[in-house]
């Protein structure tokens, strides 16, 4: 257990909501694995071999090999590992100035609020490339800060001054940065008119059904329509009309109350808001983060934020129609009938998978505000037989108003009995099939205790393992190829595990072997060849259940054959998150978040340097296309 100042979300939650003592492991899985997969069944596993369906032999080479690289081994080195014939260059690091009036990172002071305001934020996450008037714009989330690193100049690694707190606050948000290729490398265009930091202090509009509702009004904003800032932006998305979607995830950890005994409402408790913050201390510099003084302020966070990178003066819009929860990413699909469908996960143990379907259809010149404001939210209900349905979160079904559904979305989904999931992370749609994938990263509470709303979490269906340490990737096919249909079929693309340690369900599915094993799938994205890229945010102890898995990594999976290969391994104590490509597909931008979060990394600069989250540009040494 780390000390108090380095509590992760999981650890903090465990301290506040301890789980019951051990219960038996060993229900399972058989049901989920006893069906044939969509394509010949990649989901059977060694320990349950009698289960029907053809399966890939462990470690089998795919018949038609679409991987243009040789797999790399697991690694515990403090460096980026890529396959032979590839290289990785650092593009931009936390605290690198984006304007010429900024100051270079100071290894001793680790910067100030003023330097951070003109520099790249911390902990890079979801990102997307946009092209505008011949320019390349990269938009990227800066999810949160490593407090013990940004305040590592302070005796206890904690903020000592208001400026320290403000520095941390301004390291959050979203960065827009223009990139240019100098013939050899991509580089940040210092002073580009498109460069922009969007922070927890940037004015934003609240739009959609919740805008203006009483629950959204505060002393500072009696209209309930204008708010300031976005923070804890995890995954991303792009709309068909070329805007960026930043998804607010663990927004709750930034609220607190001077009186630690202050009790929040049941509705705020469902989202984990409490009187004690996670160590950011924002209420110290801004009263709106004091939940005793401003109990409606947390209702104004937890949304998907739409940002137009082509207009550096545009006001970001919080899209309440897409619901309020711990948003991971937002995967937009234009349905065959032209309606906009957005798939979204709520990343908390035992929370739900969602879908939004617009009322209107997307076409050139259409009012895109309307598409993001008027539609229906759904939550997924899976059964054990490989079928599922989308439950419409309507006023009739929930007994809640449309605005309440958009603010207390978890409560609406609980009322309808949606399936509690093993922490839904990124969702991505296969460009070559009517098929959608979601990473379910892990869930130590599966089969052990209910979710925050009291909903049961039985080990069944797409969440088949108790105390799920390793995670899995579920995929579904909408009925008739219609993403607005009520029904779908599902199977598991992979059940992660460790076949060198376990011979039961924890060995993983047949497409997991000693050479490609991993835990905690998180980021997902398809490339132009139809390969599924998988990024991990898991345990990097390389011991016990995780022996042989090394540092966090990025792999590619073939959705047709089920084969999975490891492509990249990150430095120590980092997560690999965020993935996009240059327009010519010759560069893959990959995010490296929180290197050295427990004190054992000096990546990327080496020596005794402060570890810094950074984006890397991965290319082929021969300059070829990379996906």
Query: Residues in the site for ligand FEO, rule: CB under 6 A?
Result: 143, 234, 249, 328, 347, 425, 522
Look at residue 164 and give the partner it binds from Ca ion, ligand FEO, none, a contact being a CB closer than 5 to 8 Å depending on partner kind.
none
CB of 523 to Ca ion, least distance (A): 6
187 vs 189: CA distance, rounded Å: 6
Segment near Ca ion (CB under 5 A); pick from 157-165, 313-321, 520-528, 598-606? 520-528
Coil, strand or helix: which one is 232?
coil
CB of 520 to Ca ion, least distance (A): 7
Beta strands 317-319 and 203-207: pairing type?
parallel
Look at residue 78 and give the partner it binds from Ca ion, ligand FEO, none, a contact being a CB closer than 5 to 8 Å depending on partner kind.
none
CB of 347 to ligand FEO, least distance (A): 3
For Ca ion, the closer of residues 126 and 323 by Cβ is: 126
Residue of this chain nearest to Ca ion (CB atom): 537
Look at residue 290 and give the partner it binds from Ca ion, ligand FEO, none, a contact being a CB closer than 5 to 8 Å depending on partner kind.
none
Coil, strand or helix: which one is 270?
helix
Look at residue 148 and give the partner it binds from Ca ion, ligand FEO, none, a contact being a CB closer than 5 to 8 Å depending on partner kind.
none
333 vs 337: CA distance, rounded Å: 11
Coil, strand or helix: which one is 246?
strand
Judge residue 73's burial from the number of C-beta atoms within 10 Å of its C-beta, 0-12 exposed, 13-18 middle, 19 or more buried: exposed
For Ca ion, the closer of residues 522 and 558 by Cβ is: 522
DSSP state of 486: S
Q: Contact between 351 and Ca ion (CB under 5 A)?
A: no
Omega cis (within 30) before 604: yes
Q: Which of 490, 377, 474 is CA-nearest to residue 427?
A: 474
For ligand FEO, the closer of residues 224 and 345 by Cβ is: 345
Which residue in the set 537, 558, 573, 597 belongs to the binding site for Ca ion (CB under 5 A)?
537
Coil, strand or helix: which one is 297?
helix
625 vs 35: CA distance, rounded Å: 38
For ligand FEO, the closer of residues 143 and 373 by Cβ is: 143
Count of residues near Ca ion by CB under 5 A: 3
CB of 194 to Ca ion, least distance (A): 26
Q: Contact between 522 and Ca ion (CB under 5 A)?
A: yes
DSSP state of 287: G
Q: Which of 572, 565, 551, 12 is CA-nearest to residue 279?
A: 12
Q: Contact between 122 and Ca ion (CB under 5 A)?
A: no
Give the per-residue contact string, 433-472, with Ca ion (x = CB under 5 A; - = no).
----------------------------------------
504 vs 49: CA distance, rounded Å: 10
Segment near Ca ion (CB under 5 A); pick from 3-11, 267-275, 374-382, 519-527? 519-527
Cα-Cα-Cα-Cα dihedral of 44, 50, 55, 57, to 10°? 100
Look at residue 413 and give the partner it binds from ligand FEO, Ca ion, none, a contact being a CB closer than 5 to 8 Å depending on partner kind.
none
Q: Hey, what are 418's tokens?
A: 């949606």
Give the per-residue contact string, 212-241, with Ca ion (x = CB under 5 A; - = no).
----------------------x-------
Look at residue 306 and give the partner it binds from ligand FEO, Ca ion, none, a contact being a CB closer than 5 to 8 Å depending on partner kind.
none
For ligand FEO, the closer of residues 32 and 438 by Cβ is: 438
53 vs 55: CA distance, rounded Å: 6
- In 479-563 the beta strands, taken as DSSP E runs, fall at 487-495, 521-526, 532-536, 553-557
| Contact positions vs Ca ion (CB under 5 A) | 234, 522, 537
């Amino acid at each position: 257990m780390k000390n108090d100042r380095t509590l992760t979300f999981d650890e903090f939650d465990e301290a506040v909501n301890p789980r019951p003592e051990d219960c038996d492991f060993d229900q399972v899985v058989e049901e989920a694995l006893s069906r044939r997969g969509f394509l010949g069944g990649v989901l059977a596993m060694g320990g349950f071999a009698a289960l029907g369906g053809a399966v890939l032999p462990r470690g089998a080479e795919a018949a038609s090999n679409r991987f243009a690289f040789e797999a790399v081994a697991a690694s515990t080195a403090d460096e980026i590992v890529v396959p032979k014939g590839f290289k990785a260059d650092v593009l931009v690091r936390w605290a690198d100035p984006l304007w010429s009036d900024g100051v270079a990172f100071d290894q001793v002071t680790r910067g100030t609020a003023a330097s951070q305001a003109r520099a790249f934020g911390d902990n890079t996450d979801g990102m997307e490339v946009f092209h505008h008037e011949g320019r390349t714009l990269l938009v990227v989330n800066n999810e949160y800060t490593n407090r013990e690193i940004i305040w590592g100049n302070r005796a206890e690694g904690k903020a000592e001054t208001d400026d320290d707190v403000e520095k941390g606050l301004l390291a959050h948000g979203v960065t827009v940065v223009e990139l240019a290729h100098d013939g050899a490398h991509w580089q940040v265009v210092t002073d580009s008119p498109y460069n922009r930091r969007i922070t927890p202090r940037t004015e934003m509009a609240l739009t959609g059904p919740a805008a203006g509702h009483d629950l959204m009004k505060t002393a500072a904003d009696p209209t309930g329509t204008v708010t300031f800032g976005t923070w804890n932006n995890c995954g991303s998305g792009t709309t068909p009309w070329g805007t960026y979607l930043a998804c607010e995830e663990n927004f709750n950890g930034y609220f607190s109350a001077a009186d630690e005994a202050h009790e929040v409402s049941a509705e705020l408790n469902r989202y984990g808001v409490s009187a004690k913050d996670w160590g950011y201390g924002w209420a110290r510099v801004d009263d709106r983060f004091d939940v005793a003084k401003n109990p409606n302020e947390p209702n104004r966070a937890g949304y998907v934020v739409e940002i137009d990178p082509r207009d550096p003066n545009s006001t970001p819009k919080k899209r309440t129609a897409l619901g309020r929860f711990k948003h991971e990413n937002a995967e937009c699909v234009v349905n065959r009938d032209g309606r906009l469908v957005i798939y979204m996960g709520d990343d908390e143990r035992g929370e739900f998978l969602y879908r939004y379907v617009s009322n209107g259809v997307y076409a050139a010149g259409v009012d895109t505000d309307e598409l993001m404001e008027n539609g229906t939210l759904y939550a997924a209900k899976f059964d054990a037989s490989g079928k599922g349905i989308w439950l419409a979160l309507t006023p009739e079904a929930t007994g809640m108003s449309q605005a309440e559904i958009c603010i207390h979305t978890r409560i609406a989904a609980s009322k309808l009995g949606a399936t509690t999931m093993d922490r839904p992370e990124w969702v991505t749609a296969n460009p070559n099939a009517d098929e959608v994938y979601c990473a379910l990263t892990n869930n130590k509470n599966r089969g052990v205790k209910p979710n925050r709303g009291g909903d049961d979490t039985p080990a069944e269906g797409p969440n088949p393992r108790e105390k799920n340490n390793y995670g899995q990737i579920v995929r579904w096919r909408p009925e008739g190829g219609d993403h607005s249909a009520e029904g779908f079929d599902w199977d598991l693309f992979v059940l992660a595990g460790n076949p060198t340690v376990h011979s039961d369900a924890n060995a993983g599915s047949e497409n997991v072997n000693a050479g490609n094993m991993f835990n905690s799938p998180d980021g997902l994205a398809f490339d132009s060849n139809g390969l599924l890229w998988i990024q991990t945010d898991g345990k990097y102890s390389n011991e016990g259940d995780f022996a042989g898995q090394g540092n966090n990594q990025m792999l590619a999976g073939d959705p047709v054959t089920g084969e999975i290969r490891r492509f990249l391994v990150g430095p120590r104590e980092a997560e690999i998150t965020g993935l996009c490509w240059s327009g010519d597909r010759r560069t893959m931008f990959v995010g490296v978040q929180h290197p050295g979060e427990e004190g054992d990394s000096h990546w990327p600069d080496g020596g005794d340097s402060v570890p810094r989250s950074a984006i890397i540009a991965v290319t082929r040494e021969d300059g070829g296309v990379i996906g």
